[in-house]
Chain A
Amino acid sequence: MIFREVEDRDLVLAARQGDVDAYNRLVSRWEKRVYNYLLRVVKNREDALDLSQETFLKAYRSLARLEDADRFAQWLFRIAHNEAFSQFRKERPESDAELVEPSGGRAIPVAGHAVYPLELELAVESALARLSAEQREAVVLKVFQGFKFEEIAQIQSCPVSTVKSRLYAAFELLRNVLAPVA
Chain B
Amino acid sequence: MNCSPFDLRDYWFEELSPEERRQVETHVAGCSGCHEEFERLRLTRQALSHLREEEMPRRIAFVSDKVFEPTRFARWWSGMPKLAFGLALVLAVFFGGVWATHPSLSVETGKWQLAFGGGSAQALAEMEARHTAQMRTVEETYELMMKQMNQLYLRQAEMAPASYRQ
> A residues bordering B, Cβ < 8 Å?
20, 23-24, 27, 31-33, 35-36, 39, 45-46, 49, 52-53, 56-57, 60-61, 110-111, 117, 120-121, 123-125, 127-128, 139, 142-144, 146, 148-149, 167-168, 171, 174-175, 178-179, 181
CB distance from B25 to the nearest CB of A (A): 19
Are B60 and A56 closer than 8 Å at their CB atoms? yes
Known: A49-B58, A56-B60. A179 touches B48 (CB 8 A): no
Assembled-state Cα–Cα distance A121/B50 (Å): 6
Known: A121-B51, A175-B40. A57 touches B64 (CB 8 A): no
Known: A178-B43, A178-B47. A35 touches B56 (CB 8 A): yes
> B residues bordering A, Cβ < 8 Å?
9, 12-15, 40-41, 43-45, 47-64, 67-68, 74
Are A110 and B47 closer than 8 Å at their CB atoms? yes
Q: How many A-B residue pairs have CB under 8 A?
A: 93
Contact partners of B41 in chain A: CB under 8 A: 171, 175, 179
Interface SS, A side: helix
Are B63 and A60 closer than 8 Å at their CB atoms? yes
Are B47 and A181 closer than 8 Å at their CB atoms? no
Are B64 and A143 closer than 8 Å at their CB atoms? no
